[in-house]
Structure 1
Amino acid sequence: MEQRRAVHVVTGASGGVGRSIAEALLRTGAGVVVVDIRSAGWLDEVADGAVVVGDAGDAAVLSAAIERAREFGELTGWVNNAAVFRDAWLHEAGSEVVLDIVDAILRPTVAGAAAAIGEFVRTGVAGSVVNVSSHQAQRAVRGALSYSVGKAALEGLTRALAVDYGPRGIRTNAVALGST
């Protein structure tokens, strides 16, 4: 039976940590599809990569990323790196603004996990979802309430996905970064 090439989707990878993750995956010989609200111009010259420009929390954008991944081979990994960081004091910004920021942090991860797991279940692939968290999920930083709450929720989501989909061979992990 012919083994298809491993392909990974990395969200929030036009630069920074996401770009480093995508470049590391490319060095392994995998195909990479980047999803970002900005173009990842650095990937234009890479034969094994593609860019889908759009919101990583939008199901249609993620569907397009899966279609691009299928062009390279078989989706085996998904890295949910896309997030926002914006300070908001609860007493000044109010609950709606704080919740909007939490949503902007959590939505791309939930949507990405749903897209990846849906494809893994459809194809029978024992794939992997990696959610990029932060040390702030465990140790809040003054003035970053929304970020701490969003990343703590992301870690709870990661544990729940592991419990729900681990028996199907789908691995779900979180990587909590320090300050970058």
Structure 2
Amino acid sequence: MSVSYVVTGGGRGIGRAVVERLLRSGGPGVKVSVVAVERDAEALAWAGGGVVPVVGDASDEAVVERAADLAQEAGALAGWVNNAAVFRDASVHTSSTAEIRALIAANLDLAVTGCAVAVRRFLAAGTAGAIVNVTSHQARRAVPGSLPYSTAKAAIEGLTRALAVEYGKRGIRVNAVAPGSVATERYEEFLASLGPEGAAGIEEEMARLHPLGRVASPAEIAAAVAYLLGEDSGFVSGVTLPVDGGRSVLGLDPEGQDRDPATVWE
């Protein structure tokens, strides 16, 4: 038996961790293949057996359709993860409306395109399937400077609920995972750029914001995604699962404070 998954933004950080987790998810006699969609070809240089790389923009329907084709060639399409994101922010008093709308669309289009292609493939195959959208704690608790990103992620959570309602009777489950801060390569590079003292200050702030006293590892986010794709969550649909170490319920994010948005981490 062969099953397949598609993961967008699968080259680094959370996306890579999801790919690696799904590759280990097959039981006895089950071959798992994961199609990883990534804009940067170098980010997929690590990909080995079981990983099918697709280089391209995950908001481009032609690219995503190609990923779906490759997944279905490898096995029955079982799940789809929309993880790709654009990390660039703007404020309404310094940027044009057109720029802000474009930044919102840059993130929202990634999820809409992936969800649309996944739903169509599940329906055409007549099989059940699961979709997981990776959002953010910022969808519900925005931080300074994050307007386009927070707006897009909130819209993706609305998209998740709407799809769950519309296609549940066809056996398609749609959920979202909302991470807090995560120790991705981008996060580690940011800390390194600050020097030891600056990095220590950020890590102290992250410990304060998360009740568990630390940021997440990409593997911990991947574990939640794998759960929502798997049989153990077979009656879970339309939910956004916070995987943020309690950050959102503690609510100590520096909202309304005058600080450089560059120091506030995902």
> Is the shorter-chain TM-score for this pair beyond 0.5, marking a shared fold?
yes
Instruction: Give the AA of the match of 1:73.
Output: G
Residue in structure 2 matched with residue 25 of structure 1 by the alignment: 22
Q: Secondary structure at the match of 2:57?
A: coil
TM-score using structure 2 length: 0.65
Residue in structure 1 matched with residue 4 of structure 2 by the alignment: 7
Whether 2:46 is the aligned partner of 1:42: answer: yes
1:51-95 CA distance string (max 9 Å, x none): 110010111101110111122111110000001111211110121
Q: Secondary structure at the match of 2:93?
A: helix
Q: Secondary structure at the match of 2:79?
A: strand
- C-alpha distance in structure 1 between counterparts of 2:13 and 2:118, whole Å: 22
1:98-121 CA distance string (max 9 Å, x none): 110100100010000011010000
Structure 1 consecutive aligned stretches of length 4 or more whose deviation exceeds 3 Å: none
TM-score using structure 1 length: 0.95
Instruction: Give the AA of the match of 1:56.
Output: A
Q: Secondary structure at the match of 1:92?
A: coil
Q: Paired residues, what number? A: 175
Residue in structure 2 matched with residue 84 of structure 1 by the alignment: 86
Q: Secondary structure at the match of 2:35?
A: strand
Indicate the percent of aligned positions where both proteins have the same amino acid: 51
**Greater Rg, structure 1 or structure 2?**
2
Residue in structure 2 matched with residue 57 of structure 1 by the alignment: 59
Gapped regions of structure 2 (runs ≥ 5): 27-31, 183-266
Q: Secondary structure at the match of 1:13?
A: coil
Residue in structure 2 matched with residue 108 of structure 1 by the alignment: 110
CA contact (8 A) 2:34 2:52 kept: yes
Q: 1:131 aligns with which of 129, 133, 136?
A: 133
- C-alpha distance in structure 1 between counterparts of 2:88 and 2:61, whole Å: 24
- C-alpha distance in structure 1 between counterparts of 2:7 and 2:144, whole Å: 29
Q: 2:174 aligns with which of 172, 175, 179?
A: 172
Query: Cα RMSD over matched residues?
Result: 0.8
Instruction: Give the AA of the match of 2:161.
Output: R
- C-alpha distance in structure 1 between counterparts of 2:140 and 2:161, whole Å: 15
Q: 1:162 aligns with which of 164, 170, 173?
A: 164
